[in-house]
Structure 1
Amino acid sequence: MARIRITAGGQVFVAETVAAAPKTVEAFLGMLPWRTQLIHVRWSGEGCWVPLGDFQLGFGFENATVYPAPGDVLFYPGGYSETEVILAYGACSFASKLGQLAGNHFLTIVEGREHLRVLGEKVLWKGAQDVVFERIDD
C-alpha cells in the first residue's frame, strides 16, 4: 500500500492506495509526481475533478463505484465520457451529461479528511485550484 500526499487549495491530505484496484494504482503511481488543477464537478454533486480528455489507462473497470464516500478518489478510465479523476468531498453520485458513471476507487484519504469541505467549497466559489499528488517515501 502506497501513501500519497495531496496538496490543494491550501490543504494537505494523505491518501492510501486501495488494494482492490491494482492496475489503476500502478498506472497512477507512474504519473507521480503529478501537478495539475482541480475544478468543481458539474453533475456529480460535492466533488472536484481533473479532466483528462482522451487520455487512456489501457484497461477498464476495477473496484468501480458510482457513489464515492467523502475522501474517496476515483479514476474513470474513459469510454462514455472523457477520462477523469474525481475526489468526493461530500455527497457525490458520479455522473456526466450522459448519465451515471462508475469510476475505479483507487485512493482513500486517511488524514486531513476534516478539511475536505474547505477544499471543495474553495474550488466551488474561487475556481480552479492547483493540486499536487506525490508519493510519500515509506
Structure 2
Amino acid sequence: MSERLIRIAAGGFDFVARTHPDAPLTVAAFEKLLPYRQKLIHVRWSGEGCWVPLGDFQLGVGFENHTSHPSAGDILFYPGGYSETEIILAYGACSFASKMGTLAGNHFLTIVQGREQLRALGTKVLWEGAQDVLFEAM
C-alpha cells in the first residue's frame, strides 16, 4: 500500500498529512469516508491534543499499529472498547487516555506540512472551543 496525502483544514489552519504504512486497514476504511467533516475539540485527559469524539461509530477495523504516546502531528484512530470511538491529533506532549485510563489508537496519519501551526490550532481549540475540521484526499 503506497502512502497518500490527506489535506486537513481545521480552525482556519491548513495541514497536509501522509498516510501511515503500518495502518493499512485503518487508512483504507478512513479514505472511504472522505471528504470527512467533523468538529475538533480539546482533549480532556490526554494533554496537548484535540479530538473528534465519535461515540458508537464503527470504522470496521481493530488495532493495528496502536500507541498511547503520539508525537506532535500524529493522528490516531481509536476503534472503541473502553471509551468511545475517536480520532485524536497530538499538537504537543500527549499521553492518550480517558477516564478509564490509558488508551491506544492506530497511528494512521502524520502531519508533514503545517506542523509549525499545530500549537496555534491546539491553543485556539482550547480557548475558543470546537472548530470545524475537514479531511479530504489530495
On whether the aligned pair clears a TM of 0.5, the verdict is yes
1:33 alignment counterpart: 35
Secondary structure (helix, strand or coil) at the match of 2:21 reads coil
Structure 2 Cα separation of the partners of residues 36 and 50 of structure 1: 7
- Could you tell me which runs of 5 or more consecutive residues in structure 1 were left unpaired when the two chains were aligned: none
The question of whether the paired residues in 1 share the 8 Å contact of 2:6 and 2:16 is answered with yes
Structure 2 Cα separation of the partners of residues 9 and 58 of structure 1: 28
What CA deviation, in whole Å up to 9, does each residue of 1:8-57 have, x standing for no partner?
11110000000000000001101100111100000000000000000112
Q: How many residues align?
A: 136
Question: Aligned partner of 1:49: which letter?
Answer: W
How big is the shift at 1:60? Answer: 1.2
Structure 2 Cα separation of the partners of residues 123 and 92 of structure 1: 15
Secondary structure (helix, strand or coil) at the match of 1:106 reads strand
- Could you tell me which runs of 5 or more consecutive residues in structure 2 were left unpaired when the two chains were aligned: none
Question: Aligned partner of 2:32: which letter?
Answer: G
Question: Aligned partner of 2:26: which letter?
Answer: T
Secondary structure (helix, strand or coil) at the match of 1:118 reads helix
Moved over 4 A (4+): none
TM-score between both structures, scaled by the size of structure 1: 0.97
Structure 2 Cα separation of the partners of residues 77 and 32 of structure 1: 18
Structure 2 Cα separation of the partners of residues 4 and 13 of structure 1: 8
1:24 alignment counterpart: 26
Secondary structure (helix, strand or coil) at the match of 2:112 reads strand
Q: Does 1:124 align with 2:126?
A: yes
TM-score between both structures, scaled by the size of structure 2: 0.97
How big is the shift at 1:59? Answer: 2.6
1:78 alignment counterpart: 80
Secondary structure (helix, strand or coil) at the match of 2:58 reads coil
Identity %: 74
1:58 alignment counterpart: 60
